[in-house]
Amino acid sequence: MTLSSSEATYPTRQLCEFLANLKLSDVPAPVVERTKDLYLDWIASAIAGKDAPAIRRLQEFAGAMGPGTGDAEVLVDRRRTSPYFAALINGASSHVVEQDDVHNGSVLHPAAVVFPPVLAAAQAEGRSGRDVLLASIAGYEAGIRIGEFMGRSHYRVFHTTGTVGTLAAAAAVAKLFGLDAEGINQALGTAGTQAAGLWEFLRDAADSKQLHTAKAAADGLQSAWLARAGFTGARRILEGAQGMAAGMSSDANPAALTDGLGTRWATAETSFKYFASCRHTHPAADALAALVRRDGIAAEQIAKVTAHVHQGAIDVLGPVVNPTTIHQAKFSMGTVLGLVAVHAHAGLGEFETQALQDARVAAFRDKVEMVLDEEINAAYPRQWIGRVTVHTTDGRTLEARVDVPKGDPDNTLSRPELEAKAIQLGAFRHGASEAEMRAIIARTWRLDAEADVRNWLPAAR
Amino acid sequence: MTLSSSEATYPTRQLCEFLANLKLSDVPAPVVERTKDLYLDWIASAIAGKDAPAIRRLQEFAGAMGPGTGDAEVLVDRRRTSPYFAALINGASSHVVEQDDVHNGSVLHPAAVVFPPVLAAAQAEGRSGRDVLLASIAGYEAGIRIGEFMGRSHYRVFHTTGTVGTLAAAAAVAKLFGLDAEGINQALGTAGTQAAGLWEFLRDAADSKQLHTAKAAADGLQSAWLARAGFTGARRILEGAQGMAAGMSSDANPAALTDGLGTRWATAETSFKYFASCRHTHPAADALAALVRRDGIAAEQIAKVTAHVHQGAIDVLGPVVNPTTIHQAKFSMGTVLGLVAVHAHAGLGEFETQALQDARVAAFRDKVEMVLDEEINAAYPRQWIGRVTVHTTDGRTLEARVDVPKGDPDNTLSRPELEAKAIQLGAFRHGASEAEMRAIIARTWRLDAEADVRNWLPAAR
């Protein structure tokens, strides 16, 4: 089937035309370098998911259903399998320690859904580092715009990284496969009709969040694979009368799908996580950390903290009152602010040893309230402003505000900071030794020189 | 984690308690016998999907991603694989010729999403025919009630068989695995957060409809497998504040989830398809067939047909104006009525040889219009009333109405009719010879005596 030129003017198709024509030489060098930063940050996050119970269950499932051979690597155990199951497990493990990247405007975690299927498909087909970089940029550019298109109403009930992530993964792998605009469009159609992921799991501290990234990565890969083989999907899957926006959004914005294509590099707008918690806690955590440093306040001196937040923070964090698991604690504003106040940081280590165990953190939790702030809410999601009001036990009222949280593009992590974070993530569950992480770091910085990524990782121990 | 008794009163949990406690001896014998009817009708539909291009693509995908060994059979080629991939392919092939069953009130096609994962899991684990029957009844009872719960608003954009089908499959396999109420609840949570399927593909005659049943079957099986292994999901995935109804329905009815549990057997309310087209065309097709027979009208004598329909028919069939594929023609009211008027039936054979090729059918298509009928719409989906008004070329106006279309529970197919349909489906693409189909028929009628379904099917040729 062919499309007449008049039919080819819908926004999804314009996005597909851009993706099909995209060359790595079109992408500004700083964006390519930032993509390497994102890739390193991702691979370290994926390795840190080792031994988490939900990841083990998915490894067992893949072992029972899939082949024990193939060229695609599972990062947590370095086994090889088919690209579908590698994408599934790596997609899950990327998201479990809540250290993977986030794009503010789309509220999408792109790394967890883009890199796993790209690396898996590239390993399965013996592709180059440049292919990986180009496909990943295509996935970021598509996924972020589709997330912005779906709007804030979508995010109230749906985990955008699960739903939109399926299309981001499909776009990335379709680009890796060299599909034309029609092929990418078909892949998005097949991906979009599989797009799923609900926030309801938050109330039960259930394992669904990692399942969402797992399925987005694997189903997106499958969609591109099927599209290449001629399996068809809906072309207007996003904006059509019975498409994703019609079913799952009340404020979709078609203009977002083509916003700044070729001039605005959404990939480089992505933020790195500094705290090991849900991103919605970060602005307030940053503001409280600044206040504690500036005013020299100890946790015991704090009687009450008001975190001024956007509505999305209330939607996602509100259901979590008394966390019972470490993962759930990452969605508890009280716990995150308690770790910052008591332990000066809410990193991986603090969550592992203090979030549930330290009575001072638990006591601090009850001192924290979230209130909707109209200014912050209006700026969101483009800008994630942090503001806290602290009432001290001796009657003072202190305020702090951070307009650009640590990790945002305008306050990003340097390469030494990223390297240190990666080494820490590798060490977290002994997923990779420091020497292995240093080898991965060195290879990442020269990823564009890699001819074949099948043996890209250090040899399995 | 355990639930206090007060927490266990939400509707999803009550449904899970019923499913966990269900025994085959609790099910009235006619319902068990009807389940065998449904099973035969399903297996014949699944075999008839052989060689459809979309099914071939899924077979290739499974071959590339999955193992070549296992005990679960793929019905279209009789190969063995893991239960995940068998459920995937059998789920797809069940739905491609549009001859599989439908439940009116839920607008769900249960067979295509319940039997494939049940048979695949039962073969993988060497279970009995009674286990298959009980698990399938559990899947029907759950899926139909969940479809009714999601309501008509859901069906306007979402293909209920894709979304709700994922939970029906999960409930069925969870029952096969013998999970308790908590385990079934976890399986539903994991299934519901993966529930997807949009109608947008209809405009492009794309392959998504079979993908929906494929994914529902496979993801439902995966959800039950993961739940058995301890992977958790949201307990209130249906009625919770960020659950399926919150995201994908505006008229959800929680009372439907527990309606008549143990007294109303939804399984036996399921209709068999008499025409090989979308079920929404059947009431009008039945009415036109009755009119043609009653008044002895030939196609050439008909100037215009008005099909009086419910809104769901307009939503699903409305986008299909000029069908370009046989599958799309099954969603074209004009084509279906054209086949009835010109060829006296719209069965598999008529679609294959006449739906697109016969100029008289194409000409007839333009004489057909659908109009919303308030009485029919109010009765739907509990009752699918057919009514047509025919204007003849010599100026007469004729009317016919069918209150219970052929195949409905109150006008069901007899076992001889089901056997004839099954043999015809087997012959359709030479999927199974008449002798093979007769062997399958005989074994189906004594399915409850089968000790191990691994070698239930006639030996592969």
Q: Is the dihedral of CA B245, B249, B250, B253 positive or negative?
A: negative
Average pLDDT rounded to a whole number, residues B254-273: 97
Query: Structure tokens of B218?
Result: 């496979």
Average pLDDT over residues B227-253: 98
Residue A1 has pLDDT above 60, yes or no: no
Out of B57, B162, B229, name the one closest to residue A231 (CB): B57
Report how far residue A173's alpha carbon sits from residue A171's, in angstroms, rounded to the nearest whole number: 6
> Side-chain half-sphere of B180: how many Cα atoms within 13 Å?
4
Q: Give percent of chain A with pLDDT exceeding 70.
A: 98
Euclidean distance between CA atoms B144 and B109, whole angstroms: 9
Residues facing B251 on adjacent strands: none
- Measured CA to CA, the distance from residue B279 to residue B46 in angstroms comes to 17
Query: CB-CB: which of B219, B225, B244 is closest to A198?
Result: B244
**pLDDT tens across B80-135, in order?**
999 999 999 999 999 999 999 999 999 999 999 999 999 999 999 999 999 999 99
What average pLDDT does this structure show over A6-14? 81
The gap between the terminal CA atoms of chain A, to the nearest Å, is: 50
> Chain A within 8 Å of B162 (Cβ-Cβ)?
yes
Rounded CA separation A243/A10 (Å): 13
Q: How confident is the model at residue B3 (pLDDT cuts 50, 70, 90)?
A: very low
What is the pLDDT at residue B2? 45
pLDDT over 70 (residue B460)? no
Residue B269 near residue B104, CB atoms below 8 Å: yes
Bigger pLDDT: B456 vs A437: A437
Residues B165 and B112: their CA atoms lie apart, in Å, by 8
Which residues from A are below 8 Å from B203, CB to CB? 234-236, 240, 242
| CA pseudo-torsion sign A357, A362, A363, A364 | positive
The 10s digit of each residue's pLDDT in B31-72 is: 999 999 999 999 999 999 999 999 999 999 999 999 878 999
Cα–chain center distance at A382: 16
A3 has a pLDDT exceeding 70: no
- Two tokens, residue B436: 């093979």
CB B447 within 8 A of CB B39: yes
* The predicted structure's pLDDT at residue A69: 85
From the list A197, A235, A244, which residue is nearest B193 (CB)?
Answer: A197
Average pLDDT of every residue of chain B:
95
Mind giving me the DSSP string for A159-186? -HHHHHHHHHHHHHHHHHTT--HHHHHH
For residues A441 and A40, the answer to whether their CB atoms sit within 8 Å is: yes
Nearest CA-CA distance, residue A205 and chain B, Å: 8
Which one of B199, B201, B331 would you mutate to disrupt binding with A, by most A Cβ within 10 Å of its Cβ? B201
Q: Is there a contact between A189 and B211 if contact means CB atoms under 8 Å apart?
A: no
Per DSSP, A320 falls in state -
CB contact under 8 A, B85 and A64: no
Answer left, alpha or beta for residue B197, where phi above 0 means left and psi between -120 and 50 means alpha: left
For an interface test with B, give the residue of A16, A232, A315 to mutate (most B CBs within 10 A).
Answer: A232
Give ∠ CA A265-A152-A181 in degrees, rounded to 5: 45
Say if CB B358 and CB B336 are below 8 A apart. no
- Helix (H/G/I), strand (E/B), else coil: A284: helix
Q: Give the pTM.
A: 0.94
What is the set of domains in chain A, with CATH numbers? 11-272 (1.10.4100.10), 279-402 (3.30.1330.120)
Question: Chain A partners of B208 at a C-beta cutoff of 8 Å?
Answer: 189-190, 193, 232-234
Collect all residues with Cβ–Cβ distance below 8 Å to A57 and sequence separation of at least 6: A207, B226, B229, B230, B231
User: Could you tell me whether strands B80-81 and B302-309 are parallel, antiparallel, or unpaired per DSSP bridges?
Assistant: unpaired
Classify the C-alpha dihedral A9-A15-A20-A25 as positive or negative. positive
CA distances from A442 to A36, A424, A438, B22 (A): 11, 16, 6, 59
Torsion of the alpha carbons at B99, B104, B108 and B110, rounded to the nearest 10 = -60
Average pLDDT over residues A135-157: 97
Residue A172 C-alpha from the chain's centroid: 15
Among the listed residues A191, A187, A183, the one whose alpha carbon sits nearest the alpha carbon of residue A244: A191
Rounded distance between C-alpha atoms, residue A67 and residue A88, angstroms: 13
Let me know: does A235 contact A189? Beta carbons within 8 Å: yes
Q: How many helices (H) and strands (E) does chain B have?
A: 19, 6
Burial class (CB in 10 A: 0-12, 13-18, 19+), A234: buried
Nearest CA in chain B to A190: B208
Name the band, by pLDDT with cuts 50, 70 and 90, for residue B320. confident
Does A42 have pLDDT greater than 90? yes
Percent of chain A with pLDDT over 90: 93
How sure is the predictor about A6, in pLDDT bands with cuts at 50, 70 and 90? very low
Residue A370: partners with Cβ closer than 8 Å, 6 or more residues away: A306, A307, A309, A313, A314, A317, A318, A333
From the list B162, B196, B206, which residue is nearest A234 (CB)? B206
Mean pLDDT of chain A: 95
Looking at this protein, which amino acid is placed at residue B148?
E
Distance CA A339, CA A22 (A): 44
Other CB atoms within 10 A of residue B396 CB:
12
Alpha-carbon distance of B122 to A222, in angstroms, equals 26
Each residue's pLDDT tens digit, A151-185 = 999 999 999 999 999 999 999 999 999 999 999 99
What one-character DSSP code corresponds to residue B395?
Answer: S
Concatenated DSSP letters for B176-241?
HTT--HHHHHHHHHHHHTT---BGGGGGGT-THHHHHHHHHHHHHHHHHHHHHHT----TTTTTST
- CA of A53: which chain B residue's CA is closest? B231
- Which of B129, B135, B80, B85 lies closest to B110 in space, CA to CA? B135
Chain A, nearest residue to B189 by Cα: A201
Give B-chain residues touching A161 at CB under 8 angstroms: none
| Strand B386-392 versus strand B302-309 pairing type | antiparallel
Is it the case that residue A90 has pLDDT exceeding 70?
yes
Q: Are B222 and A84 a contacting pair at CB < 8 A? A: no
Q: Which of B64, B225, B235 sits opposite A82 (nearest CB)?
A: B64
Local structure of residue B100 (DSSP, 8 states): S
Cα Rg for chain B, rounded, in angstroms? 21
Which run of H or of E encompasses B151?
helix B129-157
| Entry field: residues in chain A | 461
